[in-house]
Chain A
Amino acid sequence: MIEALAFYMFATILIMSALMVITARNPVYAVLFLILAFFNAAGLFILLGAEFIAMILVIVYVGAVAVLFLFVVMMLNIGQSNVKTGLVKYMPVGALVGFTLLGELIWLYTSWDISKYAVHQRLAPILAEDSEISNTHALGEILYTNNVYLFQLSGLILLVAMIGAIVLTLRSRKGVRKQTISEQVSRERSDVIEVKHVGFGKGVQ
């Protein structure tokens, strides 16, 4: 009973907040609703018994990605009126893309031939009911033992993407004063201070 109640609560809030993401006028509100949507998705994962994925969803998406989203949106300081301008201008293009996607989805769904084994495959429990292996352990086994090459490959792709992003944004600016901490730390008193004995009426030479 409680489980069903929790499911409907998470699902309702998830759908409502997902709707709010695209309808909210204020972009900061949109990001905040996006975060709420992530959070409720994590709740649904927990109800499914996939606690590891739920936690990773919260850590990665809510804890890191959405923070940067929020950061950028707050910094951009988009006025609420800006969002509405150009609605009429871009409406036909948006509608075209939307309807194309919808048509493709309908076409896919009606013509897709589902294998008769697929249902059994999906319903079969990955872990035996009485197994001592935890969720996390089973995921690790699949990722790092059975599919280690694919895992490494995706890691490489991410690395290339990261290097690409750094190269794209890296630019050497001239006239910027930079600090070299080691130089500052290794500075000796004798390098910077000199004691002069100034004779009377002569001044410093």
Chain B
Amino acid sequence: MVDFIVNFIVSNPLFYTLVKILSIVLPLLGAVAYLTYAERKVMAAMHLRQGPMMVGPFGLLQPLADGLKLFSKETILPSKSNKVVFVVAPILTFILSLLAWAVIPFDEGMVLANINVGILYLFAISSLGVYGILMAGWASNSRYAFLGGLRSAAQMVSYEVSIGFVMVTVLLTTGSLNLSDIVLAERPFWMDMLLFPMFIIFIVSILAETNRTPFDLPEGESELCGGYNVEYSSMTFALFFLGEYANMILMSCLTVVLFMGGWLPPLGIEISWLSWVPGIIWFGFKVSTILFVFIWARATLPRYRYDQLMRLGWKVFLPFSLLWVVLVAGILVGTNTLPVL
């Protein structure tokens, strides 16, 4: 019976791809659910609270209860809203947050679509994320939502520029746009050190790109009482929520792939028992570390003011990353270590 099913799946390429897609999407949704749990627990620990603890042992079933609650609520369509765009916006956000996962390499060869321009694909998809928010803000026909949407659009476009330059710097040292090749590219230790400032810029920029604290101005509950998603309820709200957290995990994956060596053991240690651990465990471990930084920032940092956010993006990160691109390129050419294609 098992043989039959396996044979059927492998012999049908379309079906096989479907199974592969499901085996990425389902764990991803689970990860999103438990990321919210981890966020609440970690933040609670930092605030000296207990966090969720009533539903299930240690509150482990809390995300399921939350999901069920959102399912069972009524979807409200505001009467003055633009109905079609209003409904399309959360769907778009959610689809885009899942679409990008096709090119993420979880382990050597463990990738859905190993395309040549993987990183450009990721960049393209993540730059589309702004439309969901902008459309939601406009279609709600509410001042708060509209302001949130506009803020978010300006913020994401600004920080995409510096993310682009960080990617260019990393690509210069790897000589490939394929994510698996980027992981496998060997860099000398001093080059890793040289890329460290870019790593910091990247972390801060992905905080802004995913609209997380300290750059969560699109939500800004103290000024905009929730921002772009203020008119949303039930499943439409849940889709925004899922999309945001899936994007967080995605950006963490991207950080791991670009800077932290993906599925390889950390810091290039070659101890036999360390390389015995499967690559996907290392990958998950590294991604969790970055996600912890996300939550850590949320628990400890106050929100940026909007003009300072723009100043940081355009006047600090952009010139610095531009300079660093030239510097790294110059050093690569000077030491004759430019990767040859």
Q: Do A and B bind each other?
A: yes
Partner-B contacts on A (CB < 8 A): 28, 32, 35, 51-52, 55-56, 58-59, 62-64, 67-68, 70-71, 74-75, 133-137, 179, 181
Give the number of chain B interface residues (Cβ < 8 Å): 25
The answer to whether A181 touches B311 (Cβ under 8 A) is yes
Are the CB atoms of B128 and A137 closer together than 8 Å? no
Whether a CB of chain A sits under 8 angstroms from the CB of B219 is no
Distance A110 CA – B124 CA, assembled complex (angstroms): 40
Contact A136 B117, CB 8 Å, known A58-B128, A64-B127: yes
CB–CB A35/B116 < 8 A: no
- B120 engages A59 (CB within 8 Å): yes
Q: Contact at B116–A67, with CB atoms within 8 Å?
A: no
Pairwise interchain contact A75-B150, C-beta atoms closer than 8 A: yes
- Quick one: closest B residue to A26, CB to CB? B82
6 closest A-B pairs by CB: A63-B127, A55-B120, A58-B124, A59-B124, A134-B116, A51-B117
- Which residue of the partner chain B has the closest CB to A134? B116
CA distance A56 to B154 in the complex (A): 20
A59 and B135 CA atoms in complex are apart in Å by 18
Residues of A within 8 A of B341 (CB): 133, 137
Q: Which residues of B contact A181 (CB under 8 A)?
A: 311
Contact A55 B153 (CB under 8 A): no
Q: Which residues of B contact A64 (CB under 8 A)?
A: 127, 157, 160
* CB<8 Å pairs between A and B, sample of 8: A63-B123, A63-B127, A67-B130, A67-B153, A68-B157, A71-B134, A71-B150, A74-B138
Q: A28-B85, A51-B117 are in contact. List 13 more A-B contacts (CB 8 A).
A: A28-B138, A56-B120, A58-B124, A63-B127, A63-B160, A64-B157, A67-B157, A71-B134, A74-B138, A74-B150, A75-B150, A135-B116, A181-B311
Q: Please, which residues of chain A bring their CB within 8 A of the CB of B157?
A: 64, 67-68
The minimal Cβ–Cβ distance linking A158 to chain B, given in whole angstroms, is 15
Contact A35 B117, CB 8 Å, known A55-B124, A75-B150: no
A70 CA to B135 CA, complexed, in Å: 9
- Minimum distance in angstroms from B318 CB to a CB of chain A: 14
A136: B residues at CB distance < 8 A? 116-117, 177
Most buried by A among B115, B128, B157: B128
Whether A52 and B117, one on each chain, are in contact in the complex, defined by CB atoms closer than 8 angstroms, is yes
> Which A residues touch B117, using CB under 8 A?
51-52, 55, 135-136
Q: Which residue of B lies closest to A68 (CB)?
A: B157
Chain B residues, Cβ within 8 Å of A59: 120, 123-124, 127
B165-178: CB near A (< 8 Å → 1, else 0) gives 00000000000010
CB distance from B66 to the nearest CB of A (A): 32
Residues in B with CB closer than 8 Å to A137 are 341
Name the contact of B120 in the complex, choosing from A52, A67, A70 (C-beta under 8 A): A52
